[in-house]
Amino acid sequence: MICRLLLVVVIMASSLGLADAQSSKHNVAHRGASAYAPEHTLAAYRLAIEQGADFVEQDLAVTKDGVLICLHDPTLERTTNVEQLFPERSTMVSWEGKTTRSWLANDFTLAEIKRLDAGSWFDPKFAQEKIPTFDEAVALIRGRAGIFPELKTPEVYKGRDVDFETLVAAALDKHQLRGLGADRSTAIILQTFSEESARKLSAMKIGVPVVLLLSTGKGWDTAARVNEWKGIVQGLGPNKSVLLDNPRLVEWAHAAGMTVTPYTFRSANSGTFPSVRAEMEHFLYTLGVDAVFTDNPDQFPRR
């Protein structure tokens, strides 16, 4: 009986990706190798794998026809030529406390989104790059690295008949990324800034680890605050400044059985550190975090 119980626990831990996620320090390619290739393109994901990333991050958005795509902003104009191709299709969009005229991805079908150039804004040599679907990202990454999707800006879908968490759960089932029959070669961890979304994923027993992202100024300065999330999420993903202000967060999270994966480490801004490698080194081996989100996966200091 005890042996059977142990077996069940081991199977559950591996299907959740927990064994993988907690065994060593992990290099999470933020939006792919986004220092060197346009974020959230297959070129950026491919390069991240070549540079040795343990996980490749996707920010997820939902198209008008209900398809999960990989896109950081809820809107299309920063990283595509949507203004040129669809000049009449902008609307007033409220996001991060601002209301601006924008091209919301959820107003466009996948077929329309696939017409956009998602690479030229970064460098003309990437002009052929498209916004990938989550399915395309999984097909490229699975078996080569882990997958680290974020349910991005769920507030944008309020009143739009989009059940983001259920769409993600269905995608995990479609790709056999959760449950007893899960693909063991591909670890998966979900992430969200939304406490509501994190609680919903827990209530629906999503079956894979969930990281709650912490932006600055949210009052994560007590062990009690961390313990509120014990058993609901399996990790915290603080802005790196949150950890510099309060390094004890790592100790509290670990005591509660949670991993810590701060964001974002980039060569374009390594603060007071001499290099992004030195900055990651400090967080990983002095502060003791488990993984880092970095635009520069080639600079990850492995020991």
Task: List residues binding Ca ion (CB under 5 A).
Answer: 59, 150
Of 72 and 178, the one with the shorter C-beta distance to ligand G3P is 72
Q: Does 264 bind ligand G3P (CB under 6 A)?
A: yes
SS3 for 57-100 is EEEEEECCCCCEEECCCCECCCCCCHHHHCCCCCEEEEECCEEE
List the interface residues with ligand G3P, window 228-257 (CB under 6 A): 237
Contact partner, 131, from ligand G3P, Ca ion, none, Cβ < 5-8 Å per class: none
Of 75 and 191, the one with the shorter C-beta distance to ligand G3P is 191
If phi over 0 gives left and psi between -120 and 50 gives alpha, with beta otherwise, what is residue 90? beta
| Contacts of residue 91, Cβ cutoff 8 Å, sequence gap at least 6 | 101, 102, 103, 104, 107
- Nearest 5°: the CA angle 96, 97, 103 is 60
Compose the 178-217 pattern: x for residues touching ligand G3P by CB under 6 A, - for all others.
-------------x---------------------x----
Beta bridge partners of 92: 101
The residue whose Cβ lies closest to ligand G3P is 263
Beta bridge partners of 149: 58
Q: How many CA atoms lie within 13 A of 86 on its CB side?
A: 23
Of 112 and 206, the one with the shorter C-beta distance to ligand G3P is 206
Contact partner, 134, from Ca ion, ligand G3P, none, Cβ < 5-8 Å per class: none
C-alpha to C-alpha distance for 57 and 6, rounded to whole angstroms: 32
Of 129 and 150, the one with the shorter C-beta distance to ligand G3P is 150
Binding-site size, ligand G3P (CB under 6 A): 10
Written as one string, the DSSP assignment of 104-125 is BGGGS-HHHHTTS--STTT-GG
As measured in angstroms, the least distance from the Cβ of 193 to ligand G3P is 7
Residues in the chain: 303
Contact partner, 263, from ligand G3P, Ca ion, none, Cβ < 5-8 Å per class: ligand G3P
Of 198 and 213, the one with the shorter C-beta distance to ligand G3P is 213
Give contact residues for ligand G3P (rule: CB under 6 A): 30, 59, 72, 150, 191, 213, 237, 263-264, 293
